[in-house]
C-alpha cells in the first residue's frame, strides 16, 4: 500500500495544478456548481472543454492515436483530484467522454476509432445516449425501437426517452432491436447515429427543475449506414453493458470530484448562514451532518482508489466499484437536503429573488439531485446488481 | 500509487484465516466467554509462536517489525472470529504505550516479554467520567520518597484481571494535557484492586481498577514527567485504526454469513435472497462494509507513514466503522429472522462486539466532531 506518487506522476500533478490555476475562468461559478451543466452554461462549457483538450487534460487514458494521452488511471485520478481542488467547471460532453469514446475504442473498427473519439474529447461533437424507452427503463433489454435492413442501410423506427443532451447532441449511442425473434438480450444492435439524419425528431422534456435538459427522441424511417454499427449486428447488449461499465468507472472519478467541490461550497455557504444566532458551522447538529458528508466523500475517493489499484494490476473492478454509484447518489442527495436545511426558510427562495442564497443556485441543484437515484440505473437496479453479481444472490 | 495489499500481506491473511478457523472456533470463543479469564495459555502461546504478539514492535525488542497495514490484515481476521482475550489490550494498548513513551531499557524489558507471550500489559486510562480528553484524567501521582504514589479509580480497563502490569495514566501536574504522566504498575502492587465487570460483550473483559496509595519507584515512569498525553494520543490514534480493522473483519463476516443464509433459506418456495426486500438490504450492508474498509485501509497507511492527515484519517475511519458495524450486525440478525435472535447462532457475538467496539475510543458522534475540528469547521 503506497499513496506516494512517482516523480513523473508528481510532475504531472504540478503541471495540471499550474495549468488549472492559470486557465480556470474566475467567473464561471455564476453558472452554478452542480454536476449537471445548465443550458445557459453550454457555450462556455463547450469552449472550456476545447481548452482542456488542447492542453491534453482530457481523455488522458485514451490511446494517443485516438486523441488521448496514453497515460494510466493514476494520472486520470490525479487530474480529477486537482480539478476538485481548483473547483474546475464540469464537462459538457460527459456522455461522450465517459461512455461513447471508451466503448468505441473497445469495440470500434479502425475507421471508427479514427473518426469519433478525438472529436468527442475536443467537444466538436456532443453525444447522447439512446437507451431508455417509454417501456424499457430499468428493464432495458425490453426495448422496442426497431432497425430493419434495407440494402447497405438499417431503417430505424421507434422512440427513446429521458435522453439527456439530445437537443444539442451531434451523435447518439443508439440501441435498437435488429432480431425480433431472438431472446430479448440477443437481438439488439448498437448504432452510432448522426442526429442530423432525416427522420430524427427531438422534443425537449421539461423536468421538475423547470429546465429542459433531457428529451424524447423519435425515429421515423431513419436510415443508418451499416458502417455505423458498433461491435457487430445483434451484439448490442454486450457493447451497451461495456458502456455502462465505463460509466460506472467514470463515476468513480468525475462524480467524486463534483461531490467534493459541492461539499466545499456547502461548507462555505454554511459559514455564511446563521443558525440560532451563530454560524451554521458552529451548530453542533450541523457540524455532525457536515462532518459525515465530508467522511462519506473521502470514503468515495478511497473506494475509487481501490478500484484503480485493481485496474492497474489488470484485475476486474471488485465489490468496491459497484458500491460507488449508490454511495455517490445517497451522499449527494443528502448533501443537497442539508443545503436546504442550513438555509432554513431561505431555502424557499429561488432564482430571481433578491434575498435568495447564492442567487438560488442551490435550489436548482437540490431539485436536480432527485434524478440521481433514477438516471444511469435506478438505486433499486444497482442494488439488484450488487446482490446478484457481487454477492451471488439468486435472481427474483 | 497502490491501494492494495502486497503478496506478503495476502499470505499473512491466508495464514491467519486458516489458523483462526482451526484455533478460534465458535466453541472456543463461547468457552472463553463463559470464563473470567477470556483466553487460554495454550492459545496465547500459539499467538506468540506465530509472531503476532509483537507484530508491530521493532525487531530489537523481539517484534516482527511490521506496520499497521500488515496489522490491519491480522486484525480483520481476528474480527472475523470475534477473537477473545487480551491481544488487543496487550499489543496495542499497554505494549504500544511502552513502545511510544518508554526508555530503551523499559522497551527491552517489557516488549520482549510481551512478544514472547510471557507478559501481558493493559492500559488504565479512562475513569468513571468516561471522558476521552485530558480533563478526564483525575487519578493522581504524587512524588514521594524518590518515587510516586498513585491514587484514583480507572474504569473500562480491558483485561486488567489477566495483566501482569498496567500502564496507568495519572495526573502529575496542572489540569489539561501538560500535567499527565504514564506509569508502569504491576497488578500485584500493594493498593491495586481489580474487579472484573459483567459486560454485554462477553468476549471483551473489562475491569474497574482502584489505586489506593500505590507506591511505585521513579523507574516506573514512562517518558517525561508531565509529558504523557502526547504519546498516549499517538497510541490511541493507532489503536483506534487497528480496532477499525477488527470491526471491518467482523462486519465482513456478518455479511458473508447473511449472504450464505439468504441463498439457502427457503420461504414461499424460493431462497429469501431472491426477494428484493432481502437482496437490497444485503447490498446496503456491502456498501457499508466496503466504505468502512476504504477509510480504514487509508488510515492504516496514514499512521504507518505518519502523514499530517493521520489524525483526521483515524477519526474518519472510526466514525464510519462505528456506525457501519452496528448497522451491518443488526441487519444480519434481521435477515436471519428468528434463528438470528438465538443464543445458539453466532450473530449475537458480532452484534455485541459491534456495540463494545462502537464505544471504545469514542463513538461516531465523538469522531464526527473531531473531524469537524480537524477540517476547521
Helices and strands (H, E) in chain B, number of each type: 12, 10
> Are residues A230 and A246 both part of a single domain?
no
Stretch 33-72 of chain B: residues touching chain A, C-beta under 8 Å: 69
- Band (pLDDT 50/70/90 cuts) for residue A309 is confident
With an 8 Å Cβ cutoff, are B274 and A305 in contact? no
| pLDDT, tens digit (0-9, with 9 covering 90-100), for B136-161 | 999 999 999 999 999 999 999 999 99
State the pLDDT at residue A375: 86
Work out the number of other CB atoms within 10 angstroms of the CB of residue B131: 12
Is there a domain that residue A321 lies in? yes
Residue A223 bridge partners (DSSP): A155
- Band (pLDDT 50/70/90 cuts) for residue A246 is low
Stretch 248-287 of chain B: residues touching chain A, C-beta under 8 Å: 255, 259, 262-263, 270-271, 273-276, 278-280, 282-284, 286-287
Mean pLDDT (10-residue bins), chain B, 377 residues: 91 98 98 97 98 98 97 98 98 98 98 98 98 97 97 98 98 95 98 98 98 98 97 98 98 98 97 98 96 96 96 98 98 98 98 98 98 97
Is there a domain that residue A217 lies in? yes
Q: Which of A391, A395, A396 to mutate to test the interface with B (most CBs of B within 10 A)?
A: A391
> Are residues A33 and A91 both part of a single domain?
yes
Share of chain A above pLDDT 90, in %: 68
Domain stop point among B228, B259, B280: B228
Task: Say if the ipTM goes beyond 0.90.
Answer: yes
Q: If you average pLDDT over residues A54-68, what whole number do you get?
A: 94
CATH of the domain at B281: 1.20.140.10
- Band (pLDDT 50/70/90 cuts) for residue A317 is low
> Are residues A147 and A203 both part of a single domain?
yes
State the pLDDT at residue B116: 97
The phi and psi torsions of B27 (rounded to 5 degrees) equal -60, -45
CA distance to partner chain B, nearest, from residue A280 (Å):
9
Of A1, A288, A388, the CB nearest to B297: A1
- A352 contact B CB<8A: no
> Are residues B93 and B143 both part of a single domain?
no
Chain B residue with Cα closest to A386: B283
Exposed/middle/buried for B230, CB within 10 Å: 0-12, 13-18, 19+?
A: middle
Average pLDDT, chain A: 91
CA distance to partner chain B, nearest, from residue A182 (Å):
26
State the pLDDT at residue A41: 86
Report the distance separating Cα B216 and Cα B192, nearest Å: 11
Taking contacts as CB-CB distances below 8 angstroms, the residues of chain A near B286 are 319, 322-323, 386, 390-391
pLDDT over 70 (residue A318)? no
| pLDDT, tens digit (0-9, with 9 covering 90-100), for A155-203 | 999 999 999 999 999 999 999 999 999 999 999 999 999 999 999 999 9
Q: If you average pLDDT over residues A234-253, what whole number do you get?
A: 75
| pLDDT, tens digit (0-9, with 9 covering 90-100), for A8-43 | 999 999 999 999 999 998 877 766 655 567 778 899
State the pLDDT at residue A228: 98
* DSSP class of B188: T
- Band (pLDDT 50/70/90 cuts) for residue A249 is low
Number of domains within chain A: 3
CATH of the domain at B190: 2.40.110.10
Domain stop point among B194, B211, B228: B228
CATH of the domain at A282: 1.20.140.10
Of B3, B286, B320, the CB nearest to A386: B286
State the pLDDT at residue B11: 98
**Stretch (H or E) spanning B158:** strand B147-158
CA distance to partner chain B, nearest, from residue A394 (Å):
5
State the pLDDT at residue A5: 86
* DSSP class of B313: H
Is there a domain that residue A395 lies in? no
Residue B191: how many CA atoms within 13 Å on its side-chain side? 12
> Are residues B67 and B135 both part of a single domain?
no
Is there a domain that residue A1 lies in? no
Contact A200, A217 (CB under 8 A): yes
Would you say the C-alpha torsion B227, B208, B24, B331 has a positive or negative sign? Answer: negative
Helices A319-343 and A236-250 meet at what angle, rounded to 10?
A: 50
Domain stop point among A199, A234, A269: A234
Stretch 254-273 of chain A: residues touching chain B, C-beta under 8 Å: 267
> Are residues B141 and B95 both part of a single domain?
no
Number of domains within chain B: 3
> Are residues A95 and A32 both part of a single domain?
yes
Q: Collapse the DSSP code of A129 into the 3-class scheme (helix H, G, I; strand E, B; otherwise coil) and give the result.
A: strand
> Are residues A177 and A205 both part of a single domain?
yes
Contact A104, A112 (CB under 8 A): yes
| pLDDT, tens digit (0-9, with 9 covering 90-100), for A88-98 | 888 899 899 98
Q: What is the dihedral of CA A235, A236, A242, A244, to 10 degrees?
A: -160
CATH of the domain at B111: 1.10.540.10
Contact B169, B123 (CB under 8 A): yes
State the pLDDT at residue A18: 97
State the pLDDT at residue A250: 57
Report the distance separating Cα B100 and Cα A392, nearest Å: 45
> Are residues B257 and B368 both part of a single domain?
yes
Scan for cell 488521448, then name that residue.
Answer: A68
CATH of the domain at A116: 1.10.540.10
Chain A residue with Cα closest to B270: A396
The catalytic residues of A are 247
Structural domain boundaries, residue A200: 127-234
> Are residues B332 and B266 both part of a single domain?
yes
Taking contacts as CB-CB distances below 8 angstroms, the residues of chain A near B368 are 287-288, 291-292, 295
Domain stop point among A93, A121, A149: A121
- Band (pLDDT 50/70/90 cuts) for residue A124 is very high
> Are residues B240 and B338 both part of a single domain?
yes
pLDDT higher at B13 or A249? B13
Measured at the CA of A307, the angle between CA A304 and CA A311, to 5 degrees, comes to 135
Domain stop point among A90, A121, A152: A121
> Are residues B206 and B242 both part of a single domain?
no
State the pLDDT at residue A34: 56
CA distance to partner chain A, nearest, from residue B373 (Å):
9
| pLDDT, tens digit (0-9, with 9 covering 90-100), for A320-367 | 666 788 889 999 999 999 999 999 999 999 989 999 999 998 999 999
Domain stop point among B228, B262, B296: B228
- Band (pLDDT 50/70/90 cuts) for residue A252 is low
> Are residues B361 and B317 both part of a single domain?
yes
User: pTM for the full model?
Assistant: 0.93
Report the distance separating Cα A297 and Cα B12, nearest Å: 31
Is there a domain that residue B275 lies in? yes
**Stretch (H or E) spanning B47:** helix B41-49
Structural domain boundaries, residue B144: 122-228
> Are residues B174 and B290 both part of a single domain?
no
Is there a domain that residue B1 lies in? no
> Are residues B68 and B165 both part of a single domain?
no
Is there a domain that residue A249 lies in? yes
State the pLDDT at residue B122: 98
Report the distance separating Cα A255 and Cα A168, nearest Å: 22
Amino acid at each position: 500500500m503506497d499513496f506516494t506518487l512517482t516523480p513523473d506522476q508528481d510532475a504531472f500533478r504540478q503541471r495540471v495544478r499550474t495549468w488549472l490555476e492559470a486557465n480556470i475562468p474566475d467567473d464561471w461559478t455564476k453558472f452554478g456548481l452542480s454536476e449537471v451543466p445548465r443550458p445557459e452554461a453550454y457555450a462556455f462549457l463547450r469552449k472550456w472543454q476545447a481548452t482542456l483538450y488542447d492542453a491534453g487534460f482530457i481523455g488522458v487514458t485514451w490511446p494517443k492515436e485516438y486523441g488521448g494521452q496514453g497515460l494510466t488511471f493514476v494520472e486520470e485520478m490525479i487530474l480529477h483530484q486537482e480539478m476538485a481542488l481548483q473547483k474546475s467547471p464540469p464537462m459538457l460532453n460527459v456522455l461522450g467522454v465517459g461512455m461513447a469514446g471508451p466503448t468505441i475504442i473497445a469495440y470500434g473498427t479502425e475507421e471508427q476509432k479514427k473518426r469519433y473519439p478525438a472529436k468527442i474529447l475536443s467537444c466538436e461533437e456532443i453525444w447522447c445516449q439512446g437507451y431508455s424507452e417509454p417501456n424499457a427503463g430499468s428493464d432495458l433489454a425490453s426495448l422496442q425501437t426497431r432497425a430493419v435492413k434495407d440494402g447497405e442501410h438499417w431503417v430505424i423506427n421507434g422512440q427513446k426517452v429521458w435522453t439527456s443532451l439530445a437537443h444539442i447532441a451531434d451523435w447518439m449511442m443508439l440501441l435498437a432491436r435488429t432480431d425480433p425473434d431472438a431472446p430479448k438480450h440477443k437481438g439488439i444492435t448498437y448504432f452510432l447515429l448522426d442526429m442530423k439524419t432525416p427522420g430524427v425528431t427531438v422534443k425537449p422534456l421539461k423536468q421538475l427543475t423547470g429546465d429542459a435538459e433531457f428529451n424524447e427522441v423519435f425515429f421515423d424511417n431513419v436510415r443508418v449506414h451499416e458502417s455505423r454499427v458498433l461491435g457487430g449486428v445483434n451484439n448490442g447488449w454486450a457493447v451497451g453493458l461495456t458502456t455502462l461499465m465505463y460509466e460506472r468507472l467514470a463515476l468513480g472519478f468525475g462524480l467524486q470530484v463534483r461531490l467534493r467541490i459541492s461539499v466545499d461550497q456547502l461548507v462555505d455557504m454554511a459559514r455564511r448562514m446563521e443558525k440560532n444566532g451563530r454560524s451554521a458551522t458552529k451548530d453542533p447538529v450541523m457540524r455532525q451532518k457536515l462532518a459525515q458528508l465530508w467522511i462519506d466523500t473521502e470514503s468515495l475517493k478511497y473506494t475509487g482508489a481501490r478500484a484503480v489499484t485493481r485496474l492497474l494490476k489488470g484485475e476486474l473492478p471488485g465489490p468496491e466499484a459497484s458500491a460507488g454509484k449508490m454511495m455517490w447518489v445517497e451522499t449527494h442527495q443528502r448533501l443537497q437536503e442539508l443545503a436546504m436545511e442550513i438555509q432554513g426558510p431561505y431555502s424557499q427562495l429561488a432564482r430571481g429573488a433578491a434575498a435568495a442564497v447564492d442567487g438560488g443556485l442551490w435550489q436548482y441543484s437540490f431539485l436536480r439531485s432527485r434524478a440521481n437515484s433514477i438516471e444511469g440505473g435506478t438505486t433499486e437496479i444497482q442494488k439488484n446488481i450488487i446482490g446478484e453479481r457481487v454477492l451471488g444472490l439468486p435472481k427474483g | 500509487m497502490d491501494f492494495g495489499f502486497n503478496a506478503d500481506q495476502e499470505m499473512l491473511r491466508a495464514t491467519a484465516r486458516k489458523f483462526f478457523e482451526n484455533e478460534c472456533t465458535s466453541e472456543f470463543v463461547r468457552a472463553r466467554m463463559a470464563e473470567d479469564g477470556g483466553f487460554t495459555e495454550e492459545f496465547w502461546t500459539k499467538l506468540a509462536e506465530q509472531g503476532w504478539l509483537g507484530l508491530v514492535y521493532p525487531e530489537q525488542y523481539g517484534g516482527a517489525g511490521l506496520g499497521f497495514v500488515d496489522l490491519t490484515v491480522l486484525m480483520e481476521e481476528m474480527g472475523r472470529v470475534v477473537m477473545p482475550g487480551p491481544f488487543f489490550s496487550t499489543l496495542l494498548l499497554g505494549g504500544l504505550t511502552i513502545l511510544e513513551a518508554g526508555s530503551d531499557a523499559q522497551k527491552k524489558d517489557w516488549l520482549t516479554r510481551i512478544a514472547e507471550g510471557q507478559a501481558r500489559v493493559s492500559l488504565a486510562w479512562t475513569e468513571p467520567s468516561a471522558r476521552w480528553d485530558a480533563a478526564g484524567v483525575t487519578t493522581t501521582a504524587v512524588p514521594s520518597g524518590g518515587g510516586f504514589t498513585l491514587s484514583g479509580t480507572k474504569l473500562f480497563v480491558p483485561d486488567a484481571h489477566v495483566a501482569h502490569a498496567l500502564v496507568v495514566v495519572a495526573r502529575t501536574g496542572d489540569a489539561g494535557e501538560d500535567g499527565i504522566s504514564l506509569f508502569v504498575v504491576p497488578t500485584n502492587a500493594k493498593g491495586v484492586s481489580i474487579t472484573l465487570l459483567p459486560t454485554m460483550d462477553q468476549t471483551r473483559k473489562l475491569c474497574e481498577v482502584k489505586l489506593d496509595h500505590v507506591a511505585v519507584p521513579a523507574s516506573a515512569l514512562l517518558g517525561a514527567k508531565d509529558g504523557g498525553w502526547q504519546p498516549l494520543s499517538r497510541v490511541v490514534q493507532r489503536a483506534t485504526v487497528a480496532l477499525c480493522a477488527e470491526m471491518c473483519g467482523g462486519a465482513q463476516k456478518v455479511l458473508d454469513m447473511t449472504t450464505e443464509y439468504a441463498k439457502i433459506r427457503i420461504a414461499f418456495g424460493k431462497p429469501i435472497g431472491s426477494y428484493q426486500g432481502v437482496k437490497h438490504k444485503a447490498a446496503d450492508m456491502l456498501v457499508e462494509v466496503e466504505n468502512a474498509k476504504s477509510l480504514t485501509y487509508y488510515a492504516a497507511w496514514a499512521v504507518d507513514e505518519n502523514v499530517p492527515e493521520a489524525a483526521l484519517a483515524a477519526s474518519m475511519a472510526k466514525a464510519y466503522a462505528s456506525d457501519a458495524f452496528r448497522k451491518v450486525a443488526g441487519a444480519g440478525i434481521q435477515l436471519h429472522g428468528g434463528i438470528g435472535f438465538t443464543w445458539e447462532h453466532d450473530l449475537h457475538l458480532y452484534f455485541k462486539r459491534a456495540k463494545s467496539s462502537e464505544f471504545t475510543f469514542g463513538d461516531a458522534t465523538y469522531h464526527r466532531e473531531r473531524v469537524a475540528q480537524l477540517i476547521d469547521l
